[in-house]
Chains A and B, each alone.
Chain A
């Protein structure tokens, strides 16, 4: 008898959780119990990293230091160029009376747990409502887009990677601006670009960047590189796969981005409504993947 009640309760919970965000407080409350366990299991991992770092030899560190210095000089030179180019860009945009590119605030979050479920790709990050993390917030690493936040609790949050089968991200080809949607496959190294006609101008090696359409991800960040294109004249669409540029499985730190529009809002903890039925919502818009 009790089972029947609980089964009905579970089904109700699942339905509400799947259709809306109203259970967020419940999840946040329970995650307060889970958080200590997550930190506990992370201790050996952290200890491993610490030991590895402490045991590096002096010559190794010197080598690394030299490399970093060189890289720093190189980057600084490039940055000088960038500053002038940015100023020029701003000026040209003003001439065209178009809107200025918005600024962003960036903060570093630490990954405290990874493989929650081998069949979806999610991370737990050590910042939550206390840092004004919000649902749908983009997360990046130094090489590209990693994913977006899907659940926020008081002290931590869960992010879905772009390779999760339920994730889709609007992209465009950096070379020529062709728009596409990159859908996760569950495979850590692979994204699919569905519904691209056979004659689309996409080549192996093309860089995909965020297009900013859908309003979730800021435009212009690298997402993936095309690895394979299969065109079969009998099929209406080409089979295009790409490899994420971000190091999805190797990162300990992630960058969390607050777009300018979020920073100016008075109440940051309010969840954002996705701008229209944007393509960046966690459920993919591609017809063959929607249930």
Chain B
């Protein structure tokens, strides 16, 4: 893998992290898409031989620190998502956009379930159904997000 590819991939993760922590008004914060999870899913579909479980785990650890969450909960969730993404990448890649969005709904939902489960164990479970809004917004934004990421990948010839 060329160095420039590595840099581009890392930069997309940094951008996603910025989306994850940028201050937003209260109503928008509830709808904030799980950008890091989406970027991870994209690279798992696009470059399954490069980006995988270990990378997802490390990205999750950084998200944990950025969000001030329990160290390891996002790491666990993102590693699992990356693993499933790798398992299913050949199927998801040929899906039409709306079906891809459905798969993303399931993958992001799974990561949210894992985080909910961890939070429940340590007694911080969220009290409201708005916890699930990011899952929905991630799936709804996926078709455009996918086009954008594909544009980035072709433009910088990441492979």
Which residues of A approach B to under 8 Å, CB–CB? 2-3, 6-7, 9-14, 16-18, 23, 26-27, 30-31, 33-34, 37-38, 40-42, 45, 113-120, 122, 124, 150-151, 158, 165-166, 186, 283, 289-291
Residues of B within 8 A of A34 (CB): 17, 21, 62, 65-66
Q: Give the total number of A-B pairs whose CB atoms are below 8 A apart.
A: 117
Contact B130 A118 (CB under 8 A): yes
Interface flags, B91-120, vs A, CB<8A=1, else 0: 000000000000000000000000000110
Q: How far is the CB of A57 from chain B (nearest CB, A)?
A: 26
Closest 10 CB pairs of A and B: A13-B72, A291-B123, A10-B76, A119-B126, A14-B72, A41-B22, A17-B71, A10-B72, A30-B65, A34-B66
Specify the chain A residue showing the minimal Cβ separation from B127: A186
Question: In the complex, which residue of chain A has the Cβ closest to the Cβ of B125?
Answer: A119
Q: How far is the CB of B80 from chain A (nearest CB, A)?
A: 7
Tell me the B55-78 residues at the A interface (CB within 8 Å): 57, 60-62, 65-73, 75-76
Do residues A38 and B21 form an inter-chain contact, with CB atoms below 8 A? yes
Number of interface residues of B (CB under 8 A): 42
| B26: chain A residues within 8 A (beta carbon) | 115, 118
In the bound complex, how far is the Cα of B76 from the Cα of A7, in angstroms?
6
Query: Contacts A30-B61, A31-B65 known; A119 to B71 CB distance under 8 Å?
Result: no
B7 at the interface (CB under 8 A from A): no
Q: Is B79 an interface residue (CB 8 A)?
A: yes
Complex: chain B residue closest to A42, CB-CB: B23
A sample of 20 cross-chain residue pairs with beta-carbon separation below 8 angstroms, ordered by A number, consists of: A2-B54, A3-B80, A7-B79, A11-B72, A13-B71, A14-B70, A14-B73, A16-B71, A30-B61, A31-B66, A34-B66, A37-B66, A42-B23, A45-B23, A114-B23, A117-B68, A119-B119, A119-B126, A119-B127, A186-B127
A121 vs B71: C-alpha distance when bound (angstroms): 17
Q: Are A26's CB and B23's CB within 8 A?
A: no
In chain B, positions 24-46 with a C-beta closer than 8 Å to chain A are: 24, 26, 29-30
B interface with A by C-beta (< 8 Å): 14, 17-18, 21-24, 26, 29-30, 52-54, 57, 60-62, 65-73, 75-76, 79-80, 83, 118-119, 121-124, 126-128, 130-131
Q: Is the beta-carbon distance between B21 and A291 smaller than 8 angstroms?
A: no
Residues in B with CB closer than 8 Å to A11 are 72, 76
* Complex: chain A residue closest to B75, CB-CB: A10
Inter-chain CA distance A13–B17, complex, in Å, is 21
B71 x A27 contact (CB < 8 A): yes
B19 to chain A, nearest CB (A): 8
Please name all residues of chain A whose beta carbon is closer than 8 Å to the beta carbon of B75 when the two chains form the complex: 6, 10, 13
CB–CB A2/B53 < 8 A: yes
Q: Are A120 and B124 within 8 A (Cβ)?
A: yes
A289 to B123, CA, bound (A): 8
CB distance from B40 to the nearest CB of A (A): 14
Which A residue's beta carbon lies closest to that of B128?
Answer: A119
Tell whether, in the assembled complex, residue B76 and residue A119 are in contact, meaning their CB atoms are under 8 Å apart: no
Query: Which B residues lie within 8 Å of A150 (CB)?
Result: 68
- Taking a contact as CB atoms under 8 Å apart, the answer to whether B62 and A3 are in contact is no
- Contact of A41 with B14 in the complex, beta carbons under 8 Å: no
Q: Are A7 and B126 in contact (CB under 8 A)?
A: no
Q: State whether B21 touches A41 (Cβ < 8 A).
A: yes
Min distance, Cβ B83 to any Cβ of chain A, angstroms:
5
Chain A proximity of B99: nearest CB distance (Å): 25
Residues from chain A with Cβ under 8 Å of B69 in the complex: 116-117
User: B124, A41: Cβ atoms under 8 Å?
Assistant: no
Residue of B23, B54, B67, B71 near A6 (CB, 8 A) is: B54
Bound CA–CA A108/B117 (angstroms): 38
A289–B125 CA distance with the chains assembled, in angstroms: 11
Chain B residues contacting A124 (CB-CB under 8 Å) are: 68
